[in-house]
Amino acid sequence: MDIKGEVNIPGMYSIPSSMRVLDVIDKAGGLTENADTSVINLSKKVVDEMVIVIYSREQVQNFEETKRQEEYLQEKCKKPEENAIQNDACYGTNSSDSTKININTATLEELMSLNGIGESKAKDILTYREQNGGFQSIDDIKNVPGIGEKLFAQIQEAITV
């Protein structure tokens, strides 16, 4: 396990796979005053050869600004009539798995971006994923309480494992 960034003692640690990211942070002496964990999943179970990067507040703010700029540019891409030149390199011009939400790795916010999934159902998905070791196929999401055939039909094209 390799932990870098805004921890007091960055470096390599031997950690059992039953531990979580938060446990690795504790092993690394805790967070620095400048750490921002809003973009990482502290409850994620660690795996061999995992690299954990704890970003600073400034880096997270830069990520958020970059994301806003990207969303703005992608919105322009969706409206080629407003642009002088058609840009076929825009995201989303072709459907692919890279634009789908991976239900085994998605954050609460990413799950909430799915049509018909609010905060409560997104939390239920995260709980199910944690308790069952993830999803083997997208059909497994129907095992989450409150997600039946109708809701599954709404989200199945937007999710992947």
Question: What CA–CA distance (Å, rounded) separates 2 from 33?
Answer: 20
- pLDDT of amino acid 98: 53
Query: Which CATH number is 23's domain given?
Result: 3.10.20
- Domain end position, chosen among 93, 117, 149: 93
Same domain, 26 and 77: no
pLDDT in tens, 76-97: 665 555 544 444 445 444 444 4
Same domain, 23 and 76: no
String of DSSP letters for the chain: -EEEESBSS-EE----TT-BHHHHHHHTT-B-TTB--TTS-TTPBP-TT-EEEE-BHHHHHHHHHHHHHHHHHHHHHT-GGGSSS--TTSTTSS--GGGSEETTT--HHHHHTSTT--HHHHHHHHHHHHHHTS-SSGGGGGGSTT--HHHHHHHGGGEE-
Same domain, 109 and 147: yes
Q: Which residues have C-beta within 8 Å of that of residue 22, sequence separation ≥ 6?
A: 42, 43
- pLDDT of amino acid 16: 86
Backbone angles phi, psi at 18, to 5 degrees: -80, -10
* Angle CA 66–72–75, to nearest 5: 140
Task: State which residues form the domain around 1.
Answer: 1-55
pLDDT in tens, 100-128: 899 999 999 889 989 889 999 999 999 99
Same domain, 39 and 65: no
Same domain, 77 and 47: no
Backbone angles phi, psi at 76, to 5 degrees: -65, -35
- pLDDT of amino acid 95: 42
- pLDDT of amino acid 71: 73
> For residue 158, what are its two tokens?
């937007």
